[in-house]
Amino acid sequence: MRQNIKVHHWYLYVGLIGLAVLLVGLGARVAASQTASCNKLNKLPSYFDKIICQHAISSIDNGRQIFRYDTFGDEAFWGGALGLHETIQGEQFGGIGPGLSPQAALELGLKVDVAALPRPLIKQLRNGQVDLTDPAVTLALLQLDAVVGVTGFFDDNEEDSLDAIGIHCAFCHSTVDDSLLPGIGHRLDGWPNRDLNVGAIIAFAPNLQPLADLLGVDVDTVEQVLLSWGPGKFDAELFLDGKAFRPDGGPAATLIPPAFGLAGVNLHTWTGWGSVTHWNAFVANLEMHGQGTFYDPRLDDAEKFPIAAANNFGHIHSDPDLITSKLADLHLYQLAIPAPKPPAGSFDEEAAARGEVLFTGKANCASCHVPPIFTEPGWNMHTPEEIGIDDFQANRSPDERYRTAPLKGLWAHTQGGFYHDGRFATLQDVINHYNTFFGLGLTQEEINDLVEYLKSL
């Protein structure tokens, strides 16, 4: 076992040397290409136009790094408070229990970035020569920064020993294309990881007492709630209002939304808490448990948000602040991520063309999902009564409304269903709901055509 992990360390060292050489050359080429592309784009109408272009490219590059690799200091919570790193590395490497194997990690929905793997390791994985049941391999992958959305902090004196674990924005909002193996491939930033079982991953930590103390319940109850979420869901409001289950008994967790195609979209999240950059600050401080500054006096409402109000979550001030200086670049990067185009042959083009006519005509979908951003420009919010659904999740938000979700790239996040809680299993189910609620009089053929159009966006 020890020999196995040393082999992977050799790949790590060789890979890092090659990577360093590559980055030096790449950095020079990127700087040159930025200037060239800006010169070509602007044709130098003014010096400031060139500055704007170069700033945009630099900011997007920085934002990509932040999105993929910045923990904002949250390792103090996931490692220091919950001790998640201890159960990941297992007893053999100084932790607790059997450890987390790559196979188990993949089953939890965690992904591996093939671009971070040395070529010999890629070949071994392709040939089935890597023991994916060995937690030592998980540690090697963490040392390679290959686990999407996760950073392992290792002991300087004991290279195999984890000191802490931290997460990034990419933890929930990136997946991979499975180009090497299921769960191992090239990153797809902005795509919601609907395989990721966030609750089960948190429940894997050995110390859930901090969460129990926050919620005012026992540890067994915390574990029960976390395991109720299931793949692709997370409950961002749980630690604000303590409402773990809906009135019908189902889990209150909502689907992880996409973080692509947000340019031009006013409010973010299912219930429109705020702009993209507001939600970035909210999540980085309150959900990821990073160290920063956050202000939202709406959380002072002790009736609606009893846990948030009691813990002053609307007035966070950390020293040092590891979040605020990164919000601008992170915001621009996210706005630059386009919605992915549907694969060729994934929809019926003739039916989609008919569906587009229905979308802007008889079905009247475009009155809210306004092309080309496919949500309302402006205050894109509606009461539960306006869209014919219950108010449970809406009432957990300050505005008590639901956001009109943008539809571009809809095909890329069908797993888990539609609407905030996945209540509609298929696009046809969604259209059937509106057909009945609004009395649209759509025929089955027209419904089918609308489905094909939605798949084409």
User: Which tens digit of pLDDT belongs to each residue from 275-314?
Assistant: 999 999 999 999 999 999 999 999 999 999 999 999 999 9
Q: Is residue 364 in a domain?
A: yes
**Residue 41: predicted pLDDT:** 59
pLDDT at position 7 is 40
Query: Predicted confidence band at 32 (pLDDT cuts at 50, 70, 90)?
Result: very low
Alpha helices in 204-250 (DSSP H): 209-215, 219-228, 238-241
The yes-or-no verdict on residue 26 having pLDDT over 80 is: no
What pLDDT was estimated at residue 21? 36
Same domain, 25 and 140: yes
Mean pLDDT over the full length of the chain:
92
Residue 320, φ and ψ in degrees, nearest 5: -80, 160
Distance CA 385, CA 389 (A): 7
Q: Which two tokens stand for residue 454?
A: 């939605």
Q: Are residues 26 and 89 in the same domain?
A: yes
pLDDT (average), residues 356-371:
98
Domain containing residue 285: 208-336
Residue 349 has pLDDT above 70, yes or no: yes
Tokens of 58: 């630099």
Evaluate whether residue 52 is within a structural domain: no
What's the predicted TM-score (pTM) here?
Answer: 0.89
Q: How far apart are CA 300 and CA 310, in angstroms?
A: 8
- Supply the angle between the helices 349-360 and 444-456 in degrees, to the nearest 10: 100
Task: Reply yes or no on whether the pLDDT at 11 is more than 70.
Answer: no
Looking at residue 440, which CATH number applies to its domain?
A: 1.10.760.10
248 and 390 together in one domain: no
Structure confidence at residue 3 (pLDDT) = 35
Both 28 and 141 in one domain: the answer is: yes
pLDDT at 4 over 70: no
> Distance between CA atoms of 402 and 380, rounded to whole angstroms?
8
DSSP H or E segment with residue 188: strand 187-189
22 & 169 share domain: yes
> How many domains is the chain built from?
3
Q: Can you give the pLDDT at residue 38?
A: 67
Instruction: Kindly tell me if the per-residue pLDDT of 15 is higher than 50.
Output: no
Beta bridge partner(s), residue 188: 175
**424 DSSP β-pair partners:** 418
Q: Assess whether 374 and 424 both reside in one domain.
A: yes
Q: Exposed, middle or buried, 260 (CB in 10 Å: 0-12/13-18/19+)?
A: buried
- Report which secondary-structure segment, H or E, holds 185: strand 184-185
Task: Please check whether residue 226 lies inside any domain of the structure.
Answer: yes
Residue 2 has pLDDT above 50, yes or no: no
Cβ proximity of 206 and 222 under 8 Å: no
Residues sharing a CB contact under 8 Å with residue 392, sequence separation 6 or more, in sequence order: 246, 247, 252
Question: Could you say which of 290, 314, 336 is where a domain stops?
Answer: 336
pLDDT of residue 18 exceeding 60, the answer is no
pLDDT in tens, 174-197: 999 999 999 999 999 999 999 999
The DSSP result for 248-286, as a single string, is TSSB--EEPPP-SS-TT--SBTTTT-B-HHHHHHHIIII
State the pLDDT at residue 369: 98
Q: Is 11 in the same domain as 151?
A: yes
pLDDT tens for 327-345 read: 999 999 999 999 999 999 9
Residue 13 and residue 18: Cα distance in Å, rounded?
9
pLDDT digits (tens, 9 = 90+) for 36-82: 566 665 566 677 888 888 999 999 999 999 999 999 999 999 999 99
Domain shared by 332 and 354, yes or no: no
Task: Judge whether 102 lies within some domain.
Answer: yes
Average pLDDT over residues 109-129: 97
Q: Do residue 258 and residue 302 come from a single domain?
A: yes
Same domain, 8 and 129: yes
Is 104 contained in some domain?
A: yes
What's the one-letter identity of residue 83? G
CA–CA dist 358, 454 (Å, integer): 11
Distance (Å, rounded) from C-alpha 312 to C-alpha 294? 10
Among 162, 189, 216, the domain boundary falls at: 189
- What does the buried/exposed string (b/e) look like for 294-327 if buried means 16 or more CB atoms within 10 Å of the residue's CB? bebeebeeeebbebbbebebbebebeebbbeebb
Q: Is residue 224 scored above 90 in pLDDT?
A: yes
Last residue of a domain, one of 336, 365, 399: 336
Name residues whose C-beta falls within 8 Å of residue 300's C-beta, 6 or more positions apart in sequence: 308, 309, 314
> What mean pLDDT is predicted for residues 313-317?
98
DSSP three-state, residue 64 = helix
- Residue 44's pLDDT is 61
Q: Is the residue at 194 inside a domain?
A: no
Per DSSP, the three-state class of 294 is strand
Q: Which residues pair with 153 in a beta bridge?
A: 164
Per-residue model confidence (pLDDT) at position 161? 86
Note whether 19 and 160 are same-domain residues. Answer: yes
DSSP letter for 342, please.
P
Tell me if 257 is assigned to some domain. yes
Q: Which residue has the tokens 């079905």?
A: 363
225 neighbors 252 (Cβ within 8 angstroms): no
197 found inside a domain: no
**pLDDT band for position 453 (cuts 50, 70, 90):** very high
Q: Are residues 401 and 355 in the same domain?
A: yes
